[in-house]
Structure 1
Amino acid sequence: MAITRKSDAHWSGDLMNGQGTIHLGSKVFEGPYSFKERTSEHSSLTNPEELIAAGHAGCFSMALSALLTQAGFPPESIKTTAAVTLDKDATGFALTEINLSTKVHAPGLSQADFERCTQSAKTGCPISRALSTVKITLAAELV
């Protein structure tokens, strides 16, 4: 069962002074973006890295939920944050690191099973697999 999702972006102008709008295919989000905002420390606009972070946090959480449920410990809650780093190297801009941080409440789950499931979700969720050339770290807390 293959599912294809689409989003689009419109851009006007040159890189430094231009701007654009990103539209999600589901129509639940539309937002402006620009290179200046993308590369500033505190951006008030969206950017591709923020959208990747949201997708990765969601994908990881769903994968972890499935693994915990399969292990016999359906979670009551999972809260995941993904921080995507954009940096410039000799060849240009690149995603250099993604830091996942998750807090999970799953009654009865042992620390060993928790660590096994979180590591499996980290490497096995579809977004992690798609971003396998980027260093991905994980800080996981069982609460």
Structure 2
Amino acid sequence: MPEKKASVHWEGQGKKGVGQISTETDALKAYPYGFGSRFEDDRKGTNPEELLGAAHAACFTMAFSFAADKAGFATEVVDTKARVRLKVDGAGPEIDRIELELQAKVPGIDEAKFQELAQGAKRDCPLSKALKGVPEINLVATLIQ
């Protein structure tokens, strides 16, 4: 598998600095981020936690769809939301929780098998494995009829 690449350019000091995030596919091209978009409510840029949540949701969604396919079930619609909590205290910032919320339409599957596949995808997707240091990764999975 090829390596995936991203880059960041940063100018300025600490809270006053601003950065730009770029990916090799140009999905992000000099996209802004900084203190305000990470620790405050500035919606003009992104932040590492938002990007991590998007990446984890994307990875998990694919893992779920592939697991369902392998088990003989064709996914029609799979939607995943991710919430990444950055806790800030005296020890410094830390990602202490990720919440994944799955809603999927999978004809012919029963609730027990659906939950089994969802939990397996959460456990086995490459980003979940990479994020083992996060104390809490939770999943709420809803089967749409």
TM-score over 0.5 (shorter chain): yes
SS at match of 2:88: strand
- What amino acid does structure 1 have at the position aligned with 2:72? G
SS at match of 1:8: strand
Distance, in Å, in 2 between the alignment partners of 1:49 and 1:15 is: 18
TM-score (normalizing by structure 2): 0.93
List alignment gaps of at least 5 residues for structure 2: none
Distance, in Å, in 1 between the alignment partners of 2:83 and 2:89 is: 19
List per-residue Cα deviations over 1:79-134 (Å, max 9, x = no partner): 00111111113431111111000100010101110010000001110000000111
- What amino acid does structure 2 have at the position aligned with 1:137? N
Instruction: Report the equivalent of 1:111.
Output: 111
TM-score (normalizing by structure 1): 0.95
Contact 2:36 2:42 in 1 (8 A): no
Contact 2:80 2:102 in 1 (8 A): yes
Instruction: Report the equivalent of 2:19.
Output: 20
Distance, in Å, in 1 between the alignment partners of 2:122 and 2:18 is: 34
Percent identity reads 38
User: Displacement of 1:42 after TM fit?
Assistant: 5.2
SS at match of 2:74: coil
Tell me which stretches of 4 or more aligned residues in structure 1 moved more than 3 Å.
none
List per-residue Cα deviations over 1:58-96 (Å, max 9, x = no partner): 000000001111111110010001111111134311111
After the TM superposition, which residues 27-106 of structure 1 pair with which residues of structure 2 at under 5 Å, given as runs? Answer: 27-30=26-29, 31-41=31-41, 43-106=43-106
2:131 is the counterpart of 1:131? yes
Distance, in Å, in 2 between the alignment partners of 1:11 and 1:139 is: 37
User: Displacement of 1:3 after TM fit?
Assistant: 2.5
Q: Which moved more, 1:122-131 or 1:29-38?
A: 29-38
List alignment gaps of at least 5 residues for structure 1: none
- What root-mean-square deviation, in Å, do the aligned CA atoms of Structure 1 and Structure 2 show? 1.1
How many residues are treated as equivalent by the alignment? 142
